[in-house]
Amino acid sequence: MSPGAPAYYLTTPIYYVNDSPHIGHAYTSLACDVLARFMRLDGHRVHFLTGTDEHGQKVEKAAAAAGRPPKEFVDEVSQRFRALAQTMGYSNDDFIRTTEPRHIEACQQLWQAIKANGHIYLGKYAGWYSVRDEAFYAEDELKPGPGGQKIAPSGAPAEWVEEPSYFFDLSKWQDKLLRFYDENPDFIAPESRRNEVLSFVKGGLQDLSVSRTSFKWGVPVPDDPAHIMYVWLDALTNYITAAGYPDTASETYRSFWPADLHMVGKDIVRFHAVYWPAFLMAAGVAPPKRVFAHGWWTNEGQKISKSLGNVIDPVALVERYGLDQVRYFLLREVPFGNDGDFSHGAMMRRMNAELANDYGNLVQRVLSMINKNCAARMPTPGAYAPADEGLISASERLLPAMRDAMARQQFHVALERHGEVVGAANRYVDEQAPWGLKKTDPKRMETVLYVLAEIIRRLAVLSQPFMPESSAKILDQLGVASNARDFARAFAEGAGLTPGSALPAPTGVFPRFVDPAA
């Protein structure tokens, strides 16, 4: 990658280490991974960050419940998230832990910058706090629950807290935030989340408590270590820590900050789209360019929760169905941004219909015909007929169509467009019936098979971000060199397969899934 290539910095939320990773965590990171791979193949210098959120009362309590010192506990649970990243094939460039010295330094520097600009003052917090959400709530946001409890909109219980606390003057940021959203219409997506944030901010903002004194597990406030920083201020800072903050003159920081995209779940949009830009502006640091909030998964129609015992383990899914199959399903099944329901039935349907029958069968029948009828060599095309031109130009339009969908994080649209070209290629096979041409018009048969191999090359180049292993297998079988698989080379004028080149024996790429329980 040339140093002059445009930079692209994207992040996942950092995951709480109170628990083992589940499908929700896998999903956010998967979306980022696919985008990171797409942008790399599309000529960007990508920095893809993920990591773990290790401080705060929730993690401290989880460590205590496990009977372990917090540091020992977070070391172990953080490792599980690293292992998940490996199992899922994530291509992250960095993995940040908020207990690392580089991060503690960045948090304290950011605090000092905000304070030096006059936006932090000492006071006393008396109000509601939910440890599960690590969030403060106003009285009118809570509903009564069993036993006189107060319940937050997320369903988590809130407790009354009274303690000395530093405050951030969020109430003064309403107009500046509204102006920022107005000037940056793409800052929050999708539209529904943008509207939600706008109405929250228009409703008026209250100063935010940004330190706690009733427990210890966190980053000490500079010059007043009886206070530890509010875990969300600490956690959000990870995004600039990893860009090199406070070394704002560094090459990394200058290339990658402000981040191009923070990918988050819909539950944490307020922290990212309201608090975070306000903290940054208060410190004199540029806010990120975009926050995309995706929806939540349910499991066979039910909310996923530990107490219901229906948590979906992404590793078990991958073992059962295959990595690329899971990656494909999660991003194809649900319009990105909406909520979605996981079911084994839907998983099997998509994997059998769209991967095995459509994409897989296209690849397999074309490669086997070439193997059998062209002596395992890439056929030599003659002049193209209009049907050939039609299919080739549909595949040419696919790159810009997918690029456009990816720029809007519409992963399902990118895959839908890809599937349309697969469908058009399968129809072309049926119409041209190359198997019947061997005796009647062998030159035409070669042209048809060449056109198909060429379409498959393009389809496989473009499916790499979603299904890296399977796409590589297809490209290997076509004899495409590994340095000719990025979009610029693969779609350059004159790029194509080499007639006459020897091909390996074809092997299936997308197996049909037979349900052992059926």
Interacting residues toward ligand MSP by CB under 6 A:
13-16, 24-25, 27-28, 53, 235-236, 238, 264-265, 267-268, 296-297, 304
Please state the separation of Cα 265 from the chain's center in Å: 10
Residue closer to ligand MSP by CB (options 261, 478) is 261
Residue closer to ligand MSP by CB (options 37, 55) is 55
What is the residue type of 200?
F
Distance CA 505, CA 445 (A): 19
Give the nearest distance from C-beta 171 to ligand MSP in angstroms: 23
Give the N- to C-terminal CA distance of the chain in Å, as an integer: 49
Residue closer to ligand MSP by CB (options 36, 421) is 36
CA angle 439, 443, 449 (to 5 degrees): 95
Q: Which residue from 384, 376, 383 is spatially nearest to 479, judged by alpha carbons?
A: 376
Give the nearest distance from C-beta 235 to ligand MSP in angstroms: 4
Give the nearest distance from C-beta 290 to ligand MSP in angstroms: 15
- Which contiguous run of DSSP H or E holds residue 226? strand 224-229
Strand partners, 120: 168
Local structure of 12: helix, strand or coil = coil
Q: What number of other Cβ atoms are within 10 A of residue 128's Cβ?
A: 19
Residue closer to ligand MSP by CB (options 295, 360) is 295
DSSP string, 82-145: HHHHHHTT---SEEEETTSHHHHHHHHHHHHHHHHTT-EEEEEEEEEEETTTTEEE-GGG-EE-
Residue closer to ligand MSP by CB (options 13, 244) is 13
Give the nearest distance from C-beta 162 to ligand MSP in angstroms: 25
Give the nearest distance from C-beta 202 to ligand MSP in angstroms: 24
Residue closer to ligand MSP by CB (options 15, 328) is 15
Give the nearest distance from C-beta 114 to ligand MSP in angstroms: 17
Rounded-to-10 torsion of CA 195, 196, 198, 201: 170
Q: Alpha helices of 184-322 — where are they, by DSSP H?
A: 191-202, 231-236, 238-241, 251-256, 269-270, 276-283, 314-321
Residue closer to ligand MSP by CB (options 28, 395) is 28
Give the nearest distance from C-beta 237 to ligand MSP in angstroms: 8
Residue closer to ligand MSP by CB (options 28, 130) is 28
Give the nearest distance from C-beta 311 to ligand MSP in angstroms: 9
Residue closer to ligand MSP by CB (options 25, 193) is 25
Give the nearest distance from C-beta 84 to ligand MSP in angstroms: 12
Residue closer to ligand MSP by CB (options 215, 491) is 215
Distance CA 419, CA 359 (A): 8
CB 203 within 8 A of CB 163: no
Q: Which residue from 467, 470, 477, 473 is spatially nearest to 505, judged by alpha carbons?
A: 477
Residue nearest to ligand MSP (CB): 265
**What backbone phi and psi angles, to 5 degrees, belong to 54?**
-115, -5
Residue closer to ligand MSP by CB (options 299, 426) is 299
Q: Alpha helices of 297-441 — where are they, by DSSP H?
A: 314-321, 323-332, 344-350, 361-373, 386-407, 411-432, 437-440
Q: Which residue from 304, 349, 296, 301 is spatially nearest to 325, judged by alpha carbons?
A: 349
Q: Strand order of the sheet with strand 211-212?
A: 211-212, 224-229, 220-221
Give the nearest distance from C-beta 335 to ligand MSP in angstroms: 14
Give the nearest distance from C-beta 336 to ligand MSP in angstroms: 11
106 contacts: CB under 8 Å, gap ≥ 6? 237, 240, 241, 245, 246
